[in-house]
Structure 1
Amino acid sequence: MPVISLEIAPVGTEKKEELIKNLTKIASEITNISESSFVVLIKEYPLDAIGVGGIPLTDVFAQRAKNQDNSQ
């Protein structure tokens, strides 16, 4: 039984359903394994538990929002 594991920031239920559907479909097409054999696991992390370039995503997004406000 193939397993697809995805670790992401929180997303809504509709986005998770879309990810599960599309990841399964594409993996099945590539591997020629039946879609019904795939298991998709989505693990969500809060933004303050994800860092990019040594900076928590909460700070990255706050800075982007500030920059957008200043450019308007």
Structure 2
Amino acid sequence: MPYISIECGPLTAPQKQALIEQVTLAAAKATAIPQQFFMVTVKELPDSSFGIGGRTIDRIKAEYKEK
């Protein structure tokens, strides 16, 4: 059974559903394995746990909103 794990920032329930559906569809198409055999998990991490260029994502978002 293929297993796909995705780590990302916070998502809404509709976003997670769409992500799981589309990743499953793409993986099934690429591998010719039926969709029902795929397991997909989404692990959400807070923006304070991600960093780009030495700054956390929550800080980057706050700075972007200030502009």
Give TM-score, length-normalised by structure 2. Answer: 0.96
| Paired position in structure 2 for 1:55 | 55
Unpaired runs of 5+ residues, structure 2, are none
3-state SS of 1:10 partner: coil
State the Cα deviation string for residues 33-71 of structure 1 (Å, max 9, x = none): 01000000100000111111110111100111111xxxx
3-state SS of 2:5 partner: strand
3-state SS of 2:7 partner: strand
| Paired position in structure 1 for 2:32 | 32
**Cα-Cα RMSD:** 0.6
Partner Cα distance (1:54, 1:3) in 2: 32
State the Cα deviation string for residues 1-59 of structure 1 (Å, max 9, x = none): 11111100010111100011110001000100010000001000001111111101111
| Paired position in structure 2 for 1:70 | none
Q: Identity of paired residues, percent?
A: 33
Give TM-score, length-normalised by structure 1. Answer: 0.89
Large movers: runs of 4+ above 6 Å: none
